[in-house]
Structure 1
Amino acid sequence: MERELFPSSPNKGEQARRKLLLAALKKFGEKGYDNASVREIADEAGQNVAAIAYYFVNKETLYTAVLEGIGQYVQGVFGKVAEEARERFKEGRPDQKLAKSIMKRMMRTLLGEQLEGSEFEKIRLVMLREQAAPSEKFDLLYEKTLRPLHQLFTRAVAVATGEEAESQQVILRTHAIFGQVLVFTLARATILRRLGVAKLDESHTAQIAAILDEHVELICEGLTTKGVQR
């Protein structure tokens, strides 16, 4: 079943609440928290302003609900691969092959979310804003969602490269490796122009995924060899 942002029951009240969350997500992404008004959000949702007070009390609480929903969605996106990876880590220290497999799966998962027109497109701008200029609510995303996923990927990188887990170097290396996927969001307009296409389709996704897999192999092999030589 396709993942859904802010899942709710068919109940009329819950559907109205979900419309407000989706409208808020759009307006917060387009204009930022400070510049998005509750009236604009209500109009976008086809609701009256009083509905925001009824369901969320105020704009701050509404934004909190939006970030919590984003976090739950991202956890769902990575849920299967993250759960399997954690189970394998519990069984003991995994070998390099398994660690590289985890890295590839996590990168392919994010790549697919960015390029295949999923719900990720709706959360992209809010995520970018929170990274560029973190709000007071950033910890809602970081503590429950971003940090656990980053730590999991960091552990896989450490095993795959033979480096010390959770060292500053591995944390930075992890961010750099994962950044290869994020660039297709951050610099999408540039790659579309370079390729001369209007959007990245499934063939591009497959080609990018193969390149990322190749990079994982080359990076890990190179660092492992470097460690042996030292």
Structure 2
Amino acid sequence: MMKKQRISPDETKLQLLKAGMHLFGLQGFEGTRTRELAQMAGVNQAAIPYHFGGKEGLYLAVARYVVKRGSDQMKSEVEMIQHTLRDGKLVKVEAEHMLMRFFFAFMDNIILSEDLSDRSRFILREYSTPGAGFEIIYEGMLGKIHKLLCVLVGTIEGENPESERVILKTHALFGTVVGNALTRNLLFRRLDWENFTPERIERMKQAVAEIVCHGLNLGDPNKYLET
């Protein structure tokens, strides 16, 4: 009889995080059983309290994992904006290119992620029923990104980035980009696509650039697509 291969503690934790992201997103916290989590992860059920203190601890760890995945993927764009803001006054033309670069990077990095389906489902559930997981995602990633994008939009519009108008406009533009990921099944059905490809992402960038340029009066979208 072959011995079952043992996996390392780090791999055990990762497998549980991935299983949690899938099942909590699909069934919610209350609807998910620890036995299901362990089975999907391919580990002993005792590994959940051992590594995370229980189901709630795993749920909170999944929210932090989602934050880390997104933050790592958008790190260079976020740091570029933060660095520019620290170094001095942001000018309109810089803000325009940074905003478009951020949106394009989101589409390249997030939308083509292999775990997009599970991640977006988990985030959507947290959006619909905000709890401790939503707070972790908001404080760790979404809130910070939203505020930085408001600074860019506020600079482009010549308005206070914390004004209601700028926050609403930023939210509408960000929602246009995020919606490509969260509502991808609608897009797949309408266009008879089975998945995203780099070529399809490029065509989506064209559409997003046109919407952003129209919404912020930035002129020809091709000037951002060519850079």
TM-score (normalised: structure 1) = 0.86
Number of residues paired by the alignment?
213
- Among the aligned pairs, what percent are the same residue? 27
Q: Would you say 1:140 and 2:139 are equivalent positions?
A: no
Q: Distance in 2 between matches of 1:98 and 1:114?
A: 23
Alpha carbons 2:15, 2:41 under 8 Å: kept: yes
Q: In the alignment, what sits opposite 1:131?
A: 127
Q: In the alignment, what sits opposite 2:222?
A: none
Q: Which has the higher helix share?
A: 1
* Contiguous gaps of at least 5 residues in structure 1: 1-10, 224-230
Q: In the alignment, what sits opposite 1:186?
A: 182
Q: In the alignment, what sits opposite 2:200?
A: 204
Alpha carbons 1:192, 1:198 under 8 Å: kept: yes
Q: Would you say 1:88 and 2:89 are equivalent positions?
A: no
Q: Which amino acid aligns with 1:192?
A: F
Q: Which amino acid aligns with 1:216?
A: V
Q: Distance in 2 between matches of 1:102 and 1:27?
A: 36
1:1-230 matches, within 5 Å, as: 12-221=8-217
Q: Distance in 1 between matches of 2:111 and 2:202?
A: 10
Alpha carbons 1:114, 1:121 under 8 Å: kept: no
Instruction: Kindly provide the CA deviation profile for residues 96-142 of structure 1, in whole angstroms up to 9, marking residues without a partner as x.
Output: 11101111121112222343243333311101101111123321111
* RMSD between superposed Cα atoms in Å: 1.8
Alpha carbons 2:38, 2:44 under 8 Å: kept: yes
Which aligned runs of 4 or more in structure 1 are off by greater than 4 angstroms?
none
Alpha carbons 1:161, 1:221 under 8 Å: kept: no
Describe the SS at the equivalent of 1:93.
coil
Describe the SS at the equivalent of 1:210.
helix
Q: Distance in 2 between matches of 1:44 and 1:144?
A: 27
TM-score (normalised: structure 2) = 0.87
Q: Which amino acid aligns with 1:180?
A: T
* Contiguous gaps of at least 5 residues in structure 2: 1-6, 220-227
